[in-house]
Structure 1
Amino acid sequence: MHPANAVEIFRTDPVDRAAARDLQRRARTGELVRLRHGVYARADAWAALDGASRHLVQMRAATPLLRPGSVWALDSAAAVLGVPRLGAWPDRVHAVVPGLEHDLQRVGLTFHTGWPRQSGRRFHGVPFTDLAQTVVDLARRSSFSEAVIVLDHAVRRGIDFEELAALAAAGGPWGQARAAQALECCDSRHESVGESFFAARAAELRCPEMEPQHEFRSAEGIVDRVDFWLPREGIVIEFDGRQKYEDPAMLGGRTGAGAVWAEKLREDRIRARPEVNGFVRVHWGHLVAPEMLRAHLRGSGVPCC
């Protein structure tokens, strides 16, 4: 069971006023947290959730307020589908209502106009948009980096570029240019959110053309694959996330120290190749500070604006 589905929700009953006052008292003492008017959850269960799971609980809290025919969309569909995001997950939940004349706002809930493509599945009885529709809708409304990240997520899961481009074009002019620009940057070879984020930043800084997941093969048959390769400049760029040295799934049975040593040997092999003129490591701190990234890349010999 997903952690968000295990969280018990308490709702006030307008008929049982004593029970409603008891929930309000428990919220004042900190035992419960208020999700929306008249809806609560245990504070300890809420504190244990990540941002996406909290958004899912907010969706459950808002379900009785949905209009007939509603379809979870945008951030709410993304939370169900496991689409990554850069910023914090919003408290506001989103649904599309086919045939609605204009968007409607309620406290913590937005009803959008549109005719959504449904996934064929439901979250607590309510359908949600499919992956392609969800990421295109988000890309039209997001920053360039966020758009690349969500679209890359879709193409890594087998969604065709043509399908995404067609959905972006069919949605009208608003946000279409942003989605189209982000699609030009997308590549299924971006293997992580960090690599997608870097690719977006590199495009914004007008870095030279680079090849994701380039392989160097030694005479002994050792294959070293790098995150990005700039063939004209002979420069390797690696996105260096901490999870490479901490995540058990990525360590493959090695210790963190063993992973660091293996990475050092790998870098030495790559640097020793005659076509390699430089090796640059980029981390998350560079990506969230574009000026720092620009200075770091230019200082390492990577041309950028």
Structure 2
Amino acid sequence: MHPVLRAAADRQWGLFTAVDARRAGYGHDEIHALHGAGTWVRLRRGVYTTAERLDALGGRPHGLECLAVLLSLDRPDAVVSHGSAARLLGLPVWDGLERTVRLTDPQQWRTGAGFRVNCAPLHAHEAVRHGPVRLTSPARTLVDCAREWPLEDAVVAMDAALLAGRTTLQELSLVTAAQPCWRGAPRARRAIDLADGRAESPLETRGRLRIVGSDLPSPELQVAIRAGGRLVGVVDAWFDDAAVAVEFDGRVKYTDPWHERSPGQVVWGEKRREDDLRALGIRVVRVADADLGAPWPAVAQRLGSLLATSGPATRRFSAAPRALGRRRSA
């Protein structure tokens, strides 16, 4: 590959256009021959990459498809948005999200094979750069998604972004304030009202929403329990009046534990911690992924019964909510 064309490809995740190729001295017949031989692969009309590059990537990741659409449309003001931006930002996405490339352009609405362009206003602070691609900011992305996604999935994505420090509730509220009459705006506002960046996993978010939806009190999240001058543990959810702790048991806690602990060490540590909590008069309810489905009414009934009775008359522990959740790390 000519150095001029290679330089253009290096700036664009390995993609280049027919215009880039002609600028490097490749004629129409040569471009056609390289494509016909399989050396170059056409992703969109006038947009190419090399077969070697695709092999190295193991396929056509969504970010590559987004950039290919942007290059083919040649719309300088268009940005990657909605679910496509969520994917590029590394946010949790709705399981039912299609692979259609989503873009926003302040001047033009358009749809085509595998892409959709929404025509909508876009303020300067609502666009960020991700390598060669411009995309909507985390706050704008989350609100755009929340206007279309199921409520629970929107809150999961918001919680994850808040936990990671990618946005704030204030930023989310400012975006929705600028979209008062947009389609789906009430859905986005509901998601923001339910979001809480202290949730440390999608299971914790979904479990909290199940609790709220069962006409039970909203729990405090990430509450540190201390006794005898030491930290007994940090519980996922806490009901102070009843001294009831809820622990959300995701499978990843045991199959991919933190800090190089073995699954056996995690199980043993969890048992010891729960024994210590119970010894203090704290009731503990464990909730797994499967409990959020058909078994949930029984779980909610049990939790409601526990909340109907007071905790120990004399407390030998203190309970203090943490201001922030902890991001999972190795």
* TM-score, normalised via structure 2 length: 0.72
Q: Does 1:236 align with 2:233?
A: no
Is 2:101 aligned against 1:93? yes
Question: CA shift at 1:179, angstroms?
Answer: 1.6
Cα shift at 1:282: 1.8
- The corresponding residue for 1:208 is 217
Please show how residues 77-226 of structure 1 align to structure 2 within 5 Å.
77-87=85-95, 90-100=98-108, 103-117=109-123, 118=125, 121-156=128-163, 157=165, 159-173=167-181, 174-226=183-235
How many residues align structurally?
Answer: 281
Q: CA deviation at 1:39?
A: 6.3
Quick one: which of 274, 281, 289 aligns to 2:286? 281
Query: Distance in 2 between the 1:232 and 1:268 partners?
Result: 20
Q: Does the CA contact (< 8 Å) of 1:286 and 1:292 recur in 2?
A: yes
Deviations 1:212-234 (A, max 9, x none): 11121111413311001123443
- Distance in 2 of aligned mates of 1:6 and 1:68: 15
Residue type of the partner of 1:265?
R
The equivalent of 2:262 in structure 1 is 255
Report how far residue 242 of structure 1 moved: 2.1
> Shift of residue 72 of structure 1?
1.3
**Residues of 2 paired with 1:61 and 1:111: CA distance?**
14
SS of alignment partner, residue 224 of structure 2: strand
Structure 2 unaligned spans of 5+? 1-10, 22-27, 308-330
Aligned to 2:322: none
> Which residue of structure 1 lines up, in the alignment, with residue 69 of structure 2?
62
87-96 or 258-267: bigger deviation: 87-96
Any idea what SS the aligned residue of 1:217 has?
Answer: strand
Alignment of 1:292-303 (within 5 A): 292-301=295-304
Would you say the 8 A contact 2:235–2:246 is kept in 1? Answer: yes
Q: Secondary structure at the match of 1:141?
A: coil
CA drift at 1:182 = 1.5
Residue 198 of structure 1: CA displacement? 2.0
- Normalised to the residue count of structure 1, the TM-score between the two structures is 0.78
User: Do the aligned partners of 1:55 and 1:90 also contact (CA within 8 Å) in 2?
Assistant: no
3-state DSSP of counterpart to 2:61: helix
| C-alpha distance in structure 1 between counterparts of 2:12 and 2:306, whole Å | 51
TM superposition shift of 1:165: 1.6
Counterpart residue identity of residue 297, structure 2:
R
Shift of 1:96: 0.9
Largest Rg, 1 or 2:
2
Residues 160, 20 of structure 1: alpha-carbon distance in 2 compared, 3 angstrom cutoff: closer
User: Aligned-residue CA RMSD in angstroms?
Assistant: 3.3
Structure 1: distance between partners of 2:148 and 2:96:
15
Select the structure with the greater relative contact order (CA < 8 A; seq sep ≥ 6).
Answer: 2
Give the conservation status (yes or no) of the 8 Å contact 2:138–2:166: no
- CA gap of 1:263–1:58, structure 2 versus 1, over 3 A, is same
